[in-house]
Homo-oligomer: A and B are copies of this chain.
Amino acid sequence: MTKFILLTITLFLFSLTILSQEQVWQETAPGVWLLKIGQEQSITLLGAAEVTPKIEALENLPDSEFPLAPEKISAEVIDGKTYLRFPLERGEEIYGLGLNFKTHNQRGRILNLHMDHYGGKDNGRSHAPVPFYVSTRGYGVLIDAARYMTVYAGTAIRVDADDPPELLDRNTDSGWQAQPYSDAVEILVPANGANVYLFGGPTMLKAVQRYNLFCGGGYLPPKWGLGFTQRVPTLYSDRDILKEVNEFEEHGFPLDFIGVEPGWHSMAYPCTFEWDSTRFPDPKGFLGSLQEKGIRANLWMNPYISPVGTLYDKVKPYSGSHTVWNGIVPDFTLEEPKALFREHFMEHHIRLGVSGYKIDEVDGFDRWIWPDVATFPSGTSAEEMRQVYGVLFQKMSSDWFREINKRTYGLVRASNAGSSSLPYVIYNDYYSHKDFITALINSSFIGVMWTPEVRSSGNAEDWLRRMQSVCFSPMAMLNAWAEGTKPWSFPEVEEQVRQVAMLRMRLLPYIYSTFAQYHFKGIPPFRAMQLVEGLSISSETEDGELNSSENPYAAYSTREVMYQYMMGKFILVAPMFAGMISREVLLPPGKWYDFYTGELAGEEEVIIIEPGLDLIPLFVKDGAILPMLKEERTRMPAAGEELSLEIRHYGEKPGVFHLYDDDGTSFDYEQGAFSWTELFVTGQGKALKPGMKVSHEGFYSYSQDPEWVFMTPK
């Protein structure tokens, strides 16, 4: 109660208002302003995610002024639709606007943000059509509306533009552009109202942090969630799975959780959510056998209920007008079907030991998901339902695990704004390794997580390159549902695959602390170079060449820094792709060192590397401190284990790392049951000296006499 009053007072203090064309911007949280336009909508993105802003953490960010000139923002409702306009300046770039797979900077693009399986074009149809963008000028904009909104991200040009493009003749002026300069982002929301949020900076990273914190802070996975996971082929029985676990042990390969694919339901597509008694005669026994080996189970499902399942008749009154694969579609904006699902899932899965879910097919494809003409008993439109369905299921299911005070970590194919604090990683069926990395990078702008999962490969090189990438992502996963692959499917690279998986295991203290930064400060664990403070990257345009059918308007193309990202504060990851022998890497300001050798790689420059096949290129910042597990292991540590640390230092400079720890599985950290340990190196060059300071030793599971390794030769 005291907390509630404090929050209210805080909110009151921040309720400074800014007037703009009779619009009232209200500072709803520190550095976060809200403008309510038109009619309040019954379904919103943040509402579906039930976000609880982390006000204290927001207060700890630097103060921010209202980041735009309010009179340059326009918002009005015309004929039942909401028209929005935000200014852009010359040279400004914008990032975000959904989970895009091919491009980063969205300025100059048009996106219809529409929940869908990614179809090969960055046109807004995506697994996470998040209507949030962040600008290189250091602010963020969120349109909180569960609609198929169209965003003209610097393409539309008004007759009365403040900064109009130059008037040129296409035929006689060489500077003529197919797409003239636009000084605004314009957005059409097909609804008679919307909530618009502005997030202050002053940097891009700070704006993203504010967004994530406003959405409740990033999710902190259980430690086991950061280990390796294998998803087994469809129709695998309990015996097949236990055999698979044994094979992992025989191969000395890490494994923390198993994904059980279709075959465990008594019917699937549509689903019953009841165990098939031939393949899983004793689910509790099966889950217990896994637990004995320290393995968790994640169950595949989609939410469409089969007529042969016991849930069907109960949920039918609370389901939509249309079927998906003959299954009914529960209306999860209502309490009744949520209660029925909770009861069923708790009884049949979670109380038996199931640790999480893979929520499939909540995105599309259009051809089988419910159509936009579907109706739902709550009155929610099909469009709104489509935009939030994945988020509704994420929130509902995450609450079940919270109820038993166990963290989960699962997969989902549809997300949206507000899901930063939800325990799900996005995946899909698209399978371009390069585009998977672009998606991983873009996920950092919009508060979602993405895994470049591995399924199968045409050759060992591709296999290894994909395995290397997925081990530097939020979920290290081999998804063998269709092809039945194993990590050792290509024996010629088995050892290299094992090594990179082991490296991920050993990096747990660093990665887990990185996720803690996501949770407590909103800093994305895997993040775009554009979010590195102090680094200024501009995408460059290149003139197009006229071709009457391929490029009839000689439209320009954009060149961007691609395929490299930060894992946490210190490690720069530059994945390699099959067929690639060398690549460019942009090193931000300061000196950077090779992760494996500690040798200087370069300083604020573009380097060209030829890393060979065995290792994924990793670069470490000068002064970096990387806490790692000393020993290789195949399971993530359980509560109560004490672990030996190897703490690496790179470069010449002193540095600090804050090592986070807690019990690794429960939500007790929310009540203060965690520790932060300051690992530090002082001095310079040859006189570097290590040290550490543990807070709350009770929640600290590592050895207090770590092995310090100074990686860079002095």
Contacts and interface: CB of A to CB of B under 8 A. Distances in A.
Interface of A: 78-81, 83-85, 108, 110, 150, 152, 155-161, 164-165, 167-172, 176, 178-180, 186-188, 190, 234-235, 262-263, 267-270, 306-308, 316, 319-323, 325-326, 328, 366-368, 370-375, 381, 429-431, 455-456, 479, 481-483, 546-550, 552-553, 555
A482 B155 contact: no
A374 B108 CA distance: 17
Contacts of A167: 270, 306-308, 326
A174 B425 CA distance: 31
A98 B593 CA distance: 58
A469 to B, nearest CB: 15
Nearest to A169: B267
Given A157-B322, A159-B323, A548 B367 contact: no
Given A158-B323, A373-B188, A552 B429 contact: yes
A546 B268 contact: no
Given A269-B170, A373-B85, A456 B548 contact: yes
Contact of A373 (B186, B374, B375): B186
A342 B179 CA distance: 29
Contacts of A479: 548
A513 to B, nearest CB: 34
Contacts of A168: 326
B431 A371 contact: no
B431 A549 contact: yes
A269 B169 contact: yes
Contact of A150 (B164, B269, B328, B372): B372
A367 B156 CA distance: 8
A549 B155 contact: no
Contact of A548 (B79, B164, B381, B483): B483
Nearest to A430: B549
Given A79-B381, A170-B269, A171-B235, 9 more contacts: A155-B366, A155-B371, A167-B307, A167-B308, A172-B235, A187-B373, A188-B371, A431-B549, A482-B546
A314 to B, nearest CB: 15
Nearest to A159: B323
Contacts of A80: 80
B269 A156 contact: no
Contacts of A381: 79, 81
Given A176-B269, A547-B482, A321 B159 contact: yes
Contacts of A110: 366-367, 371
Given A322-B158, A325-B170, A367 B179 contact: yes
Contacts of A262: 170-171
Contacts of A316: 159
- Which are the 7 A-B pairs with shortest beta-carbon distances? A431-B549, A170-B269, A482-B548, A156-B371, A429-B552, A186-B373, A152-B371
A180 B270 CA distance: 12
Contacts of A108: 367
Contacts of A152: 371, 373
Contact of A83 (B164, B367, B373): B373
Contacts of A328: 159
Contacts of A179: 367-368
Contacts of A235: 171-172
Contacts of A431: 548-550
A361 to B, nearest CB: 9
A159 B322 contact: yes
A164 B548 CA distance: 48
A478 to B, nearest CB: 12
A77 to B, nearest CB: 12
A187 B374 CA distance: 10
Contacts of A187: 373
A269 B171 contact: yes
Nearest to A170: B269
Nearest to A431: B549
A187 B371 CA distance: 9
A315 to B, nearest CB: 12
A263 B180 contact: no
9 contacts: A150-B371, A157-B323, A167-B326, A171-B234, A178-B367, A180-B323, A180-B368, A429-B549, A482-B546
Contacts of A157: 322-323, 326
B268 A170 contact: yes
Nearest to A266: B169
Given A156-B374, A169-B267, A180 B326 contact: yes
A314 B155 CA distance: 26
Nearest to A546: B482
A313 B318 CA distance: 59
A110 B365 CA distance: 11
A651 B169 CA distance: 58
Contacts of A164: 323, 326
Contact of A322 (B156, B373, B552): B156
Nearest to A548: B482
Nearest to A109: B367
A492 B267 CA distance: 65
